[in-house]
Structure 1
C-alpha cells in the first residue's frame, strides 16, 4: 500500500523542525573550522585544504539532514502500517481507514496516548465494543478516544479492557452513552472502588447481574465502594453477593423463604417484585439489606444473610451490611470527567521533557505556572500583594490600580512606575 503524501508530510515535518537552523549551524561551524585549519597548516594547499574540509562539512550536513529525514520517514511508514492494521481489524474501506488514521493522528498530535498505535487501539476498542461507530462524527470519536486514553494514563487501566467495560455498561443499560460510561469509571477509580485493582474486570463480569437487580451504574459502583470501605477483600466478592441474591430472590427455595421470613418478609411477594426488574427489584434489594441491618442478634443476622446471599455473605462479613442502595450512588462520587489536563501533561512530558508536541511549553509546567508579584506602589510601605496571571496580561487580584508589566520590563521599571 503506497504511503499517502498527506500522512508522510504530517509525520516527517515535525521531525524536521529546526533543520534549517541545524544546517546553518553546521555550515558556520565547518567554515570556522576550515579557516582555523588553513591558518595552522601552512604545508597544505589553500584550495585543496579548503576544498577537502568543506567537502567534509557538506557530507556532515547531508548526513544530519538524511538522519532527520530518515527518522521522519520511518515514523510515517510506521503510522501507515498502524492505520492499515486498524483498517484490517475493523474491515474498513480505504476511505474509512484514511479517515480513522487522520483522527488518530490528530488525537496523538494533541498529546494523548503513548503512540499512534495506542490511539488506534482506543478507536478499535470503541468500535468493537459498541461504544461508538468508527463512522461516528469526528468530534465524538476524538472525545471518546481521549477519555479512554486519559483513563489509561491516569489510573493505569488497559485501553482495551476499559472500552470493553464501557461497552458492557451501555449494553446493559447502566449508562446512556460512552461519555457517561467513562465518567462513571473515572468516578469509581477516584472514590476507591478500584482499591483491589479489579474494578474494570468486575464491571465486565457483573454488569448484567446489576441490571437484573435493577441497579444503575452509579449505584452499582457505589455499592462496590461501600463494601471495600467497610473491609471487603475486593470488588468481585461484593458484586458476587449481589449476583447470588438476584438468584435466590426468585428461586422459590425453602432456604430463601426461610431467609425472608427471618426478616419479616414474604418470599413470594419479594420474588414477584424482584422479577419485575428496574426500581422494583432495586427496592427488594434495598429493603432486604435494611432489614438485615435491623437484626441485633449477630447469629440470626448471619443466618439470614447466608440464606439470601450465600457464602458470599460470609466472605463479606460486616461489609455486607455497609452496602446500601439508597445511598450508594452518592458514595460513588461525582466526576467532571476524565482528568484530561493532568493525563495529557504526563504523556507529553514523557515524549519530550519540557515541550508539548505543538512546540509550546506544556500547561502546568513550572515555567508556565510561574507568576510575578507587582512591585510595591510608591505610596505604600508594604506594597501590593496582587499576583499576575500566568500570561501576565493583567493582575489577577489587581495590583492597586495598575496592571503588571511584562517580567523583563518589571525589572527595569522603578517602583513608582506601577503606582497607578
Structure 2
C-alpha cells in the first residue's frame, strides 16, 4: 500500500513544499551540531579560566543556544507532523468519496474509523489505515459504518499475524456473515481459529471459505459444521481444505439429483434413497445430517471394491482424491460454536506489549495535532490564489525576457557578420601595419624584464633573506606574548580563588608569579629583538650600499648592458658575505 502525504489540490502542494524542505532528520542533525558546538565552546572557555565555576558560567550561552535550537526543531517537527496527519486525513476522505461513492458526511465518518485503526497501531501511516478501511468497506458491505474501525483492526491483526491478504481475509469474513448469519466478531473468530489450527497450510483456507460457503449454506450446514468438515479433512491428511469442501459440495449435488447411480450407491450401503429423499424434502433431515449418515455407513463397508464404488457414486472423484482415509474422516460434528469463540482475542494478545503501548500513545499525540495541521493547510489554501496569480503574471514577463535575449543574440550575430564583411580588409591592413612595431618593441620588453630579474637577484632576494630571521623572531615573540597573557589570566583566577578560600598566602604567591613572569618575559624579549635588529643592520647595510652604488654608476654612464654585468658581479659579493641572524 502506498503511504500518504498531501491532501490534493492547492493545499497538497503547500504541504509537499514544506515537507520537502523540513524533515525530522535534518532538524535532529542541526540540534546535535549546535549541542556539540556548545559543549566544545563550554569546555574551551572553562579550560581557559581554570575552574569549574568558570566552566559552568561560560557554558550558559551555549546551553541557551542548544536549548533554543532544540525547542525550535521540536516546534518545526511538530508543525510538519501536524501537516502530515491533517493532509492524510483529508486525502483519505477524498479517496473514500471517490472509491466508495459515498457522501462527504459518510466519508467523514469512515475517516474517523480509519483514525481508530491507526490509533490501534495498524498501518504504517494514517494514509494506509484509510486504505484498509476502504478495502474492508468494499468487501464487507453488511457492516455499519461505526463498526468499520473495530472490524478493520481485527482483519488487520489477522492479516499482519498470519501474513494473509487484507482484502481476502475481509472477503472470507463477509461470506461467513452473509451465508451463516455470523456477527462480524464471530466471523473473525472463525477465520482466526482456522489460521491458528493450520488450515491455511496450503494457502487455500480463505479461498475455500469464499468459494464453498454458499454450498454449505444450501446444505443447511452451520458455520461450526462447515469448520468441522474442513478441519477433519485436513487432519486426515488432505492437501488443503479445498478437497474436503469440494467433496461435500459434490455430495449435496448428487444426494438430490435422483439419479440411478445415487440410488444404487445408497442402496449398496444400506440406505433407502426414496425415504431419505422424502425426509430431506420435508426438512426432517438436513443435507449435513444426510452427509454424516452416508459417511457413517461408508465406514461400515468392509469390501474395498464396494466401498470405492459407493464412495465415488456419492462423493464423485473427490472420494478418490481424498483417499479412503481422508474421505471417511470427514465429519460435521467435531467442532462446536463455542470452540471458535475468542480466537481473535488471542491473536490480539501479541500486540499487548510496552512497545505497542508507546507507539499507540504517540499516534494519539499525532491525531491530536490534526487540528493544527488543518489550520496550516487552510492558511496554505488561502495563500495559493495569491501565489497562483503572481505566477500567472510572472509567466508572460519571463517569456518576454527570454524572447528579447534570443532575438538580441540573433541580431547581434547578424550584425557581427555584416561588420566582418565590411571592415575585414581594413582590420587586416591595420594588423599588418602594427606588426613591425610590435616586433620592434619586443627587444625593449626583453631588456626591461632582464633588468627586473637582475634587481631581484642582486637586491630584493638578499634583503628578504636577511629579513626572514627578523620575521621569524617577531612571530615567536607574538606567540610568547599570547602565552604570557594566558598565564597571566590563569594567575589572576588562581589569586581570586585563593582569596575566596581564605588562602591569602596563595593569593600573594599567585600575584608575585604574575609580575615575575612579566618582568622576565620583557627583559628576554627586548634582548632578543635588539640582538636580531643589530645583526640585520650590520649584515645588510654594506651589501645594499655597494649594490646601490653600482646601479647608480651604471645609470650615469647610460649603459644598461654594462650595468647588468656589474650587478651580476655584485651578486657573488653579497651572497659570499656571512650573514648573522
Task: With the length of structure 1 as denominator, give the TM-score of the two structures.
Answer: 0.67
> Once superposed, what is the RMSD of the aligned Cα atoms?
4.1
**Counterpart Cα distance in 2 of 1:127 and 1:193:** 26
Deviation at 1:340, TM superposition (A): 4.8
Instruction: Return the match for 1:295 from 257, 276, 301.
Output: 301
**Which residue in 2 is equivalent to 1:358?**
361
**Which residue in 2 is equivalent to 1:260?**
266
Question: Using a 3 Å threshold, how does the CA distance of structure 1 residues 149 and 260 change in structure 2: closer, same or farther?
Answer: same
**Which residue in 2 is equivalent to 1:149?**
156
**Which residue in 1 is equivalent to 2:215?**
209
Question: Using a 3 Å threshold, how does the CA distance of structure 1 residues 122 and 31 change in structure 2: closer, same or farther?
Answer: closer
Matches within 5 A, 1:392-407: none
Deviation at 1:143, TM superposition (A): 2.4
SS in structure 1 opposite 2:221? coil
**Which residue in 2 is equivalent to 1:418?**
none
1:223 has 2:247 as partner: no
**Which residue in 2 is equivalent to 1:101?**
111
Deviation at 1:321, TM superposition (A): 0.5
**Which residue in 2 is equivalent to 1:388?**
none
**Which residue in 1 is equivalent to 2:421?**
none
Question: Using a 3 Å threshold, how does the CA distance of structure 1 residues 83 and 253 change in structure 2: closer, same or farther?
Answer: same
Deviation at 1:184, TM superposition (A): 1.2
Question: Using a 3 Å threshold, how does the CA distance of structure 1 residues 89 and 160 change in structure 2: closer, same or farther?
Answer: same
Matches within 5 A, 1:15-414: 30-35=37-42, 66=76, 69-70=79-80, 72-130=82-140, 132-135=142-145, 138=146, 140-172=147-179, 174-275=180-281, 280-317=286-323, 318-329=325-336, 333-338=339-344, 339-345=346-352, 349=355, 355-358=358-361
SS in structure 1 opposite 2:359? coil
**Counterpart Cα distance in 2 of 1:265 and 1:98:** 60
Deviation at 1:117, TM superposition (A): 4.2
Write the deviation string for residues 220-272 of structure 1: whole angstroms up to 9, x where unpaired.
Answer: 11111101111111110110001111111111212111111111112233334
Question: Using a 3 Å threshold, how does the CA distance of structure 1 residues 336 and 61 change in structure 2: closer, same or farther?
Answer: closer
- Cα pair 1:306 1:313 within 8 Å, conserved: yes
**Counterpart Cα distance in 1 of 2:283 and 2:226:** 15
More helix by share: 2
**Counterpart Cα distance in 2 of 1:277 and 1:209:** 17
- Cα pair 2:88 2:127 within 8 Å, conserved: no
Deviation at 1:155, TM superposition (A): 1.9
Deviation at 1:66, TM superposition (A): 3.9
Question: Using a 3 Å threshold, how does the CA distance of structure 1 residues 279 and 154 change in structure 2: closer, same or farther?
Answer: farther
Question: Using a 3 Å threshold, how does the CA distance of structure 1 residues 132 and 25 change in structure 2: closer, same or farther?
Answer: farther
**Counterpart Cα distance in 2 of 1:51 and 1:334:** 66
- Identify which range, 273-282 or 238-247, moves more after superposition: 273-282
Question: Using a 3 Å threshold, how does the CA distance of structure 1 residues 359 and 147 change in structure 2: closer, same or farther?
Answer: same
**Counterpart Cα distance in 2 of 1:247 and 1:122:** 38
**Counterpart Cα distance in 2 of 1:33 and 1:176:** 68
Higher-Rg structure is 2
**Counterpart Cα distance in 1 of 2:215 and 2:352:** 38
**Counterpart Cα distance in 2 of 1:142 and 1:252:** 49
Question: Using a 3 Å threshold, how does the CA distance of structure 1 residues 277 and 3 change in structure 2: closer, same or farther?
Answer: farther
Write the deviation string for residues 31-59 of structure 1: whole angstroms up to 9, x where unpaired.
Answer: 44445567899xxxxxxxx9999999978
- Cα pair 1:131 1:163 within 8 Å, conserved: no
**Which residue in 1 is equivalent to 2:556?**
none
Question: Using a 3 Å threshold, how does the CA distance of structure 1 residues 341 and 170 change in structure 2: closer, same or farther?
Answer: closer
- Cα pair 2:139 2:167 within 8 Å, conserved: no
**Counterpart Cα distance in 1 of 2:327 and 2:210:** 21
**Which residue in 1 is equivalent to 2:467?**
none
Structure 2: stretches of 5+ with no match in the other structure? 1-7, 49-59, 364-581
Question: Using a 3 Å threshold, how does the CA distance of structure 1 residues 117 and 261 change in structure 2: closer, same or farther?
Answer: farther
- Cα pair 1:292 1:301 within 8 Å, conserved: yes
**Which residue in 2 is equivalent to 1:391?**
none
Deviation at 1:316, TM superposition (A): 0.5
Question: Using a 3 Å threshold, how does the CA distance of structure 1 residues 52 and 181 change in structure 2: closer, same or farther?
Answer: closer
- Cα pair 1:213 1:277 within 8 Å, conserved: no
SS in structure 1 opposite 2:306? helix
SS in structure 2 opposite 1:325? coil
**Which residue in 1 is equivalent to 2:448?**
none
- Cα pair 2:41 2:62 within 8 Å, conserved: no
**Counterpart Cα distance in 2 of 1:159 and 1:31:** 51
Task: With the length of structure 2 as denominator, give the TM-score of the two structures.
Answer: 0.50
**Which residue in 1 is equivalent to 2:387?**
none
- Cα pair 1:220 1:329 within 8 Å, conserved: no
